[in-house]
A = this chain, B = another copy of it.
Amino acid sequence: MDAHLNQFYAQVDKDQNIYVERLREVVAIPSVSSDASMRNHVFRMGEWVQNELKRLNVEYEIRDPGTHVMDGHTLQLPPIVLGAYGRDPAKKTVLVYGHYDVQPALKEDGWATEPFELVENEKGELVGRGSTDDKGPILGWLNAIEAHQKLGIELPVNLRMCFEGMEENGSEGLDDVIVAEAKGWFKDVDAVCISDNYWLGDSKPCITYGLRGISYYKVTIKGPGRDLHSGVFGGTVHEPMTDLAYIFSKLVTPQGKILIPGIMDDVAPLTAAEEASYPPLDFNLSTLHNAIDAQNTIHDNHIDALKGRWRYPSLSLHGIEGAFSAPGAKTVIPAKVIGKFSIRSVPNMVPEKIDAHVIKYINEEFAKLGSKNQVEVECLHAGKPWVASFEHPNYVAAAKAVERVFKVKPDLTREGGSIPVTLTFQDALNKNVLLLPMGRSSDGAHSINEKLDRSNYIEGTKLLGTYLWELSTHQF
């Protein structure tokens, strides 16, 4: 294995400019999935992926998720491309996922260069929309296959692929395909690897084993039958905004403590292994201060800050629909206001139980107000938290691959947000899912001047290939 890997690394180093040109080619296809006028480019990008699989002798099929309605137009959804490379029953089978669509980008938004023209700057950054999210990682898998083919070395595992073109727009249609293919295209899968997130910092690779869930609520408070003038009616009616301010003030403290009884009951206790994973992390408070462009962090040390980010639930008040929200000084008593807030959940919290606690508590608190207004609490959407065991061979293999390529133990991270497909794969296939990122924290995935460092791209290609070799050595 060592010999094969060393040959592989040499080949990747040798072909790195080919890989960069390949990335240039795909960045030039503006496959923005959330813009109806760009949908044809998403399809072009889907074609590109299929042609590349054909060139690499990867079997593939497409799944057509049908249509959806966006901005009043009925649009065709881009194909979900399923690949299969190797069908040797003696080998493990790894499913890799990536998305070939990208976020919108306009030069006018503040990009230093044309967003859909890949530019390598003096720092060795490959700047362009989609470079790190998620075209670079998709190419990483394909580059690794190509390098092995050039060397005449057989991959040590079977690969299955799932590449979609709607991730930046809600992954429309994907869940159904995953569920339908669990006993079909994905039936032999032993482990899943998703490369679509980022290192915690900028200097040290990580592998990611947890994501928070979300339960998003609206609290509707209805009072008068129409908006009223505060001069004529202020002092005579129960005002929905007043009631909502009270409810909002009872949900969470300024220090982030959630006040809803029962909500913390199901939070899994911190294990010793987890506790031990924090000190080595490539993170400090100034990283966080830079990220938020301010100093108003709750915690005075980075470990508690990271636990606040991803290990414990949080509650954020997002805003109010129906109240006066424009500049200026309107003297309205809003008749009906809809407060929006969400709870980021962690294992072992369960959406149904979160709902029950939230709804009961708000109704009780509202009753205390003695208001004649009406309240209604509703969960708008919910996603479960996700956590995987980082002691699973899938993670052990990834950690060994990081050590082999980067000569450092990876950070073991979670993330505060959610990547819904992670949970779908886990639940539908009932296999361990690993998040193995290629890019860095500073890549600016959804921002202007998105980039992927050349070193992350090239060493990342090595990492993905090495992970397959390491995984093949495990029994599970």
Contact = CB atoms under 8 A, between A and B. Distances in A.
Contacts of A234: 309, 314-316, 344, 416
A321 B326 contact: yes
A141 interface: no
Interface string A317-332: 1111101111101111
Interface string A321-355: 10111110111111000001010100000000000
B315 A319 contact: no
A313 to B, nearest CB: 7
Number of copies of this kind of chain in the complex: 2
Interface string A221-241: 001111011111111111101
Interface in A160-215: 212, 214
A325 B325 CA distance: 7
A293 interface: yes
Contacts of A273: none
A370 interface: yes
A243 B254 contact: yes
A179 B100 CA distance: 69
B416 A216 contact: no
Contact of A380 (B233, B253, B329, B340): B329
A372 interface: yes
A299 B236 contact: yes
A149 interface: no
Contacts of A216: 329, 331
Contact of A320 (B232, B237, B313, B320): B320
A453 interface: no
A124 interface: no
A418 interface: yes
Interface stretch (A5-13, A83-91, A244-252): A244-252
A255 interface: yes
A288 to B, nearest CB: 6
A258 to B, nearest CB: 10
Contacts of A314: 230, 234-235
Contacts of A295: 372
A312 interface: yes
A256 interface: yes
Contacts of A242: 248, 252-254, 256, 316-317
Contacts of A327: 321
Given A249-B248, A256-B235, A319 B334 contact: yes
B332 A325 contact: no
A112 interface: no
A224 B292 contact: yes
Contacts of A325: 319-321, 323, 325
Contact of A340 (B235, B293, B315, B324): B324
Nearest to A339: B245
A290 B234 CA distance: 16
A320 B415 CA distance: 30
A76 interface: no
A313 B233 contact: no
B235 A308 contact: yes
A330 B314 CA distance: 16
A417 interface: yes
Given A230-B314, A249-B246, A296 B237 contact: yes
Given A241-B318, A380-B329, A230 B344 contact: yes
Contacts of A292: 224-226, 228, 233, 236-237
Given A309-B233, A331-B342, A342-B230, A241 B317 contact: yes
29 contacts: A214-B231, A224-B292, A230-B318, A230-B344, A231-B415, A231-B417, A233-B291, A234-B316, A235-B256, A235-B298, A235-B314, A235-B344, A238-B254, A238-B255, A238-B296, A239-B256, A241-B316, A241-B317, A242-B248, A242-B252, A242-B254, A245-B317, A248-B249, A295-B372, A316-B331, A319-B324, A321-B325, A321-B327, A329-B380
Q: Which 4 pairs between the two chains have the least Cβ-Cβ distance?
A: A225-B293, A231-B417, A319-B324, A235-B314
Given A242-B254, A245-B249, 9 more contacts: A225-B293, A232-B416, A235-B313, A238-B255, A239-B256, A241-B316, A248-B248, A319-B332, A324-B340
